[in-house]
A and B are shown apart, each in its own frame.
Chain A
């Protein structure tokens, strides 16, 4: 499987000011680039993760090759011979930009699972179930068959929920008046408030065009909420952008033409602004020997945190309209698959504690992102194509969720590692879920027949993704999460953008400690129950049993724990089983990163080399 092998390659530390390096061998396989250093540490890079390869000017020690990855890893190799470097460069250019879907890893990935298990995996998330959980269909909302064969909107799913009072001609008419046929449909139904989040694309209103069916459609949505006679229409774009669209025959709703709507712009920038904002952010964070002031001013100039705040503010507006005013909200942007997905999904997350569970979060992504046609393939640049279509829209969504987890540490069942792992896989093309741009395309690709679904794999290892502080009662007690979006609450997400720059992170993880502890507590309780049961069964003296039992205990830490009430003090520093930074080849079922974990656990005892950041001696 190995395409090529190059010896004596140097891997340069990204932030080292003295160009500290490791020497090893570089292998190119069909799916990965692999570097094994002299201490046998392996670094795997999936070809699909490569965003850019750059060959720098020849130096005395060889030819530098810089690889930037979509998961924000940056590796800097020095290949001794220019010829080899050139070959690797060309191969990577080709391998990292597949021309067609069938070249993607998902079609060759084989975790050695039997067929029925694979199929079950695809059935794990069932959106019909999800709508049922929300409480639809009901007396106001029904399943529409209008798009059963994708006849009115190619980028929507087949199954759509609409107001009962919206007749088929109204639906068809409305879809013709909406960009890409994306007419208003139900995204989330709030059972208690009987209010709904609906989504669509911009109307083709131009300067004055009207569409009776579209007006009827909005009216139908409005009256599907028995409590209220007005609804909000949120245009998530900046007003200027929306107005400019009118010249192209698109635009936004005229309040005069629609009965009882309250129209609102929220000002989230478009995909191009977001792409260049992230670009600027990465330029700053990737600078060597960065000063605090250039970091902060770079962070400011990138505008990244301002955009994250805009998205969260919009989601809060949406959630409050529902929770406080009992009002239905219709959300759109231009095409209704980027900003609309962000705002609808984050808004739902604020309203419904189910989406703050592991399973619920998968459902949320399946619903608001995958099924409603967020163009994962284009936005993540999975195929060689138009680079202007690439944009970190989904990354921003994850970052919004991360900011919420920072403010509400007990409200989420999942942890940061879960968000990072999902981010890893929107780019990895290892599982079928995120391939393609819409459901229709996915069906044509026969993904459910040819690939695996990511979710069962994540569920299998969900232990890694559990938030040990999660409090179910806390999450359900609050009707609505109300994050404070004061500016100082927006922070640079180091664990995302520097996830592979180990020296920048805390050397000891509270999270892992607590995780281990709560696991140990559970194990202890289990042991205790087992012991109790055995005691009853055998009817022996308890002392005798207790002295014998630890020896047989399945849990190696238990004996020590049983004897010492303050076990934590006697344990060595925890091995850093840190999934945050072990998402190497993005192969979850794969044991490749075991090496990496061991390496990390060795490094864990506090001392970390000084190359990173600490002032160097100048003598």
Chain B
């Protein structure tokens, strides 16, 4: 496929870009294979034109168009645009709704041009082939390929646990991805269990995701495991190897907890489809706890409803509260945080091992294991540690990023496997940051950046659904890693929380509804003006860093057209000064 075939009109003059809260800008619009660009016409005082918009087309979630004939149009316009409408016979408006929730409007003279731009944008944004995506074409001069891909080697992390405890070993049983296509090549398992057992246990778990170690709690030596559901089925099948594997985790008389992220009812029903959950009779030392967490379609719908409510600024207070409630988003936040706290509590307070799984073990399971680690482990709360956690518990653990984040909240496309599980995770981390403002080394800015990059990115980090796919696509050879960009000193600094102090303790959040807040910085980012809040935050930074070097920028969420902001490669101007 050639991109050129999809581009029907590459360039249109006199296009007006508008974006809520900013004055409209006029300029020349160009479409390239991966970007929409708008450069303003030279200013009246002889200034050269500047690039005002540099939008990754992958970021476009929905394209809505309307074409008006000139006569009607002119009469309904304010006099400011009269002179320009004279030249065109008709004028169309394209509304670009982006995956990062931003909404842009382009007013394009000429019906044909307008329709062409709309359909080209639509076609380019829905190219589904991973290897056609921008990360495979993005070659910034300041960065080397392969940098950053080895920053958080899983093996090291696991090797360390293995050598510290003696009870665990690194296994390469999945070295060629034949045992489990969504697991990485190396996993860590009880030392007492050999690879043959693993192979058989894998056959008893959905997708081959047999129980592996997710987190080792140094303080008391307990561990958290994760897996997919056991394939009990209607005939109540058993698997000796699976039982052996799980009992090898527990010492002598110890008991462990299985946290199933489905309701008892749903877990039972899953048996009809060949799945199920660990029965007491075959796993006598494991106590099962059910904590239903929503995922899949209901979660995506929750996201869509919330974004809808946030975008309707005309709502009365009552309607707003009612829509906020019916979106159920905050209930999902509470559910995720409480379940993660439960897992953390089992380990920290009950000193027991925990196995977490739902059905496939690639969504809510990872949400719970990753969140529990942020709560328990101060290392995961550093900027480097958090990257490592994401790499380990989301990317390498086989969260299907490609499926989940193909579309965001605006898309009209028929939804397939989209669900904002990772966004829910980021929201929960944000809540932790609100409740423990000194305990996370990174700032809200990092979370926003990660949200953007899961949906559309110039880096390869969130491409594909698993390590296996990433290997096939040669992602690590042919794209840059987000981490190597983030770990450049200038970027690193921008994503730090100036208030951070190392806190060795467990951070137990309050999950009362009164303590949870809507993440305004994300959901209302493009809707409310945050000027005064940004200024206040800059003042906080100034106070905190007044003994250090003068701060050079505020951590506000800029959304301006004209000032390139390298911190947000996907905001309007983003990559302009990077390539």
Interface residues of A (CB under 8 A from B): 15, 285, 290-297, 299-300, 303, 305-306, 309, 407-411, 468-469, 471, 474, 484, 486-492, 494, 497-498, 503-510, 513-514, 517-518, 521, 561, 565-569, 571, 573, 605-610, 612-615, 617-619
The contact of B325 among A300, A411, A497, A565, by CB within 8 Å, is A300
Contact (Cβ within 8 A) B514 A494 = yes
A487 touches B319 (CB 8 A): yes
- Please determine whether A296 and B330 come into contact, CB atoms closer than 8 angstroms: yes
Given contacts A504-B510, A609-B508, 18 further A-B contacts (CB under 8 A): A15-B512, A295-B514, A296-B325, A297-B321, A300-B318, A300-B322, A498-B514, A504-B514, A508-B437, A510-B540, A514-B540, A517-B544, A565-B548, A605-B503, A607-B507, A610-B508, A613-B511, A615-B511
Chain A residues with CB below 8 A from B324, complex form: 296
Docked complex Cα distance between A68 and B438 (Å):
34
Given contacts A295-B513, A506-B434, A571-B501, contact A469 B341 (CB under 8 A): no
B544 interface neighbour in A285, A410, A568, Cβ under 8 Å: A568
In angstroms, how far is the closest chain A Cβ from the Cβ of B326? 8
Beta-carbon contacts under 8 Å, B327-341 to A: 328, 330-331, 333-334, 338-339, 341
B331 with A292: CB separation less than 8 A? yes
* CB of B181 closer than 8 Å to a CB of A: no
User: Nearest Cβ distance between residue B444 and chain A, in whole angstroms?
Assistant: 12
Query: Which residue of A303, A508, A608 is within 8 Å of B318 (Cβ)?
Result: A303
Least CB distance from B289 to A in Å reads: 7
| B513–A490 CB distance below 8 A | no
Give CA–CA (A513, B533) in the complex, Å. 18
Asked whether B317 lies within 8 Å of A610 as measured between CB atoms, the reply is no
Would B543 and A409 count as touching, CB distance under 8 A? no
Residues of A within 8 A of B338 (CB): 613-615
* Bound complex: CA A408 to CA B535 (Å): 10
Is the Cβ of B435 less than 8 Å from the Cβ of A507? yes
- Within the assembled complex, what's the spacing in Å between the Cα atoms of A460 and B468? 68
Instruction: Report chain A residues within 8 Å CB of B543.
Output: 468, 514, 517-518, 521
B residues within 8 A CB of A605?
503, 505
CB-CB under 8 A for A614 and B342, given A494-B514, A508-B436, A508-B437 = yes
**Which residues of A sit under 8 angstroms from B331, Cβ to Cβ?**
291-293
Contacts of B349 on A, CB cut-off 8 Å? 610
- B528 x A297 contact (CB < 8 A): no
B514 lies within 8 A of A296 (CB): no
Instruction: Name 15 A/B residue pairs within 8 A (Cβ), A-sorted.
Output: A293-B328, A409-B532, A484-B528, A505-B515, A510-B540, A517-B543, A569-B500, A569-B501, A571-B501, A606-B507, A608-B510, A614-B345, A614-B508, A614-B511, A615-B339
Q: Mark B497-525, 1 if CB is under 8 A from A, else 0.
A: 00111110111111111111110100010
A521 shortest CB reach to chain B, Å: 6
Contact A607 B506 (CB under 8 A): yes
B474 at the interface (CB under 8 A from A): no
Determine if B320 is an interface residue (Cβ-Cβ < 8 Å).
yes
Q: Are the CB atoms of A507 and B507 closer together than 8 Å?
A: yes
Q: Which residues of B contact A609 (CB under 8 A)?
A: 508
Contact with A along B344-382 (1 / 0, CB 8 A): 011001100000000000000000000000000000000
Instruction: Rank and list the top 10 A-B pairs by shortest CB-CB distance, nearest first.
Output: A295-B513, A409-B536, A487-B320, A296-B325, A300-B321, A615-B338, A292-B331, A613-B512, A606-B505, A306-B317
The minimal Cβ–Cβ distance linking B283 to chain A, given in whole angstroms, is 14
The CA-CA distance from A12 to B532 in the complex, in Å, is: 42
Q: CA A487 – CA B324 in complex, angstroms?
A: 11
Which residues of A lie under 8 Å from residue B346 when comparing CB positions? 617
Cross-interface CB contact of A292 among B313, B341, B345, B516, cutoff 8 Å: B516
Q: With the chains together, A484 CA to B345 CA distance in Å?
A: 42
Residues in B with CB closer than 8 Å to A606 are 436, 439, 503, 505-508
B547 at the interface (CB under 8 A from A): yes
Residues of B contacting A486 in the complex (Cβ-Cβ under 8 angstroms): 313, 528
Contact B512–A566 (Cβ < 8 Å): no
The interface residues of chain B lying within 8 Å CB-to-CB of A508 are 435-439
Cβ-neighbour of B512 out of A408, A504, A561, A608 (below 8 A): A504
Shortest beta-carbon distance from B532 to chain A in Å = 5
Q: Are A610 and B318 in contact (CB under 8 A)?
A: no
**CA separation between A613 and B435, bound complex, in Å?**
14
List the B side residues contacting A571 at CB < 8 Å: 501
Decide if B470 is an interface residue (CB 8 Å cutoff).
no
Given contacts A292-B331, A487-B317, A617-B342, contact A513 B499 (CB under 8 A): yes
From B318, B339, B341, contact of A306 by CB (8 A): B318
Residues of B contacting A521 with CB < 8 Å? 543, 546
Q: Which of A300, A411, A474 has the most CB of B within 10 A?
A: A300
Give Cα distance in the complex from A267 to B508, angstroms: 44
Give the CA-CA distance A612 to B341 in the complex, in Å: 12
Q: Which residues of B contact A567 (CB under 8 A)?
A: 547
Closest A residue to B329 using CB positions: A292
**Interface assignment of B69: CB less than 8 Å from any CB of chain A:** no
Chain A nearest CB from B330 CB (Å) reads 5
Q: A291's contact among B502, B513, B547, by CB below 8 Å, is which?
A: B513
Complexed CA–CA distance, A506 and B430 (Å) = 12
Is the pair B544, A492 in contact by a Cβ cutoff of 8 Å?
no
B310 at the interface (CB under 8 A from A): yes
- B16 CB to nearest A CB, Å: 26
Give the residue name and chain of the A residue nearest to B498 (CB): A568
Minimum distance in angstroms from B169 CB to a CB of chain A = 30
Contact of B350 among A305, A410, A471, A617 (CB under 8 A): A617
Beta-carbon contact of A565 and B514 below 8 Å: no
Complex interface: chain A residues within 8 A of B546 (CB): 521
Given A306-B317, A506-B435, the answer on whether A619 and B536 have CB atoms closer than 8 Å is no
Which residue in chain A gives the minimum CB-CB distance to B342? A615
Chain B contacts of A15 at CB under 8 A?
512
What A residues does B325 contact at CB under 8 A? 292-293, 296-297, 300
Chain B residue numbers with a CB within 8 Å of A612 are: 510, 512
B476 at the interface (CB under 8 A from A): no
Q: Are A607 and B508 touching (Cβ within 8 A)?
A: yes
- Closest approach, in angstroms, between the C-beta of A226 and any C-beta of chain B? 34
Contact of B320 among A295, A297, A488, A505 (CB under 8 A): A488
| Distance in Å: Cβ of A9 to nearest Cβ of chain B | 26
Within the complex, the shortest CB–CB distance from B65 to chain A, in Å, comes to 28
In the assembled complex, which residues on chain A have CB atoms less than 8 Å from the CB atom of B437?
506, 508-510, 513
CA–CA, A290 to B325, complex, Å? 13
**In the assembled complex, which residues on chain A have CB atoms less than 8 Å from the CB atom of B322?**
296-297, 300
Q: Which residues of A contact B282 (CB under 8 A)?
A: none
Instruction: State the Cβ distance, B282 to closest chain A Cβ, in Å.
Output: 18
Identify which of A294, A507, A517, A569 gathers the most chain B CB atoms within 10 Å of its CB.
Answer: A507
B139 interfacial contact with A, CB 8 Å: no
A567 to B547, CA, bound (A): 9
Does the CB pair B515–A569 fall under 8 Å? Answer: no
Task: Give B501's nearest chain A residue, CB to CB.
Answer: A569
Query: Is A514's CB under 8 angstroms from B544's CB?
Result: yes
Chain A residues near B548 (CB, 8 Å)? 565-566
The answer to whether B200 has its CB under 8 Å from any CB of chain A is no
Q: State whether the Cβ of B316 lies closer than 8 Å to any Cβ in chain A.
A: yes
Which partner residue on chain B sits nearest A478 by CB separation?
A: B532
Residue in A484, A487, A618 whose CB lies within 8 Å of B316: A487
Is B199 engaged at the interface, CB distance under 8 Å to the other chain? no
Q: Is there a chain A Cβ closer than 8 Å to B287's Cβ?
A: yes
Q: How far is the CA of A503 from the CA of B506 in the complex (A)?
A: 15
Closest Cβ neighbor of B330 among chain A residues: A292
* Contact pick for B345, options A408, A468, A505, A617, CB 8 Å: A617
Q: In the bound complex, do residue B328 and residue A566 qualify as a contact, i.e. CB atoms below 8 Å apart?
A: no
Contact of A309 with B317 at beta-carbon distance under 8 Å, contacts A410-B535, A410-B539, A488-B524 already known: yes
B533 → A minimal CB distance (Å): 7
B310–A488 touching, CB < 8 Å: yes
Q: Is B143 close to A, CB under 8 A?
A: no
Residue B315, interface by CB 8 Å: yes
Is B320's CB under 8 angstroms from A565's CB? no
Contact across chains for A488 and B436 when beta carbons are under 8 A apart = no
Interface centre among A487, A489, A569, A607 (most CB of B within 10 A): A487
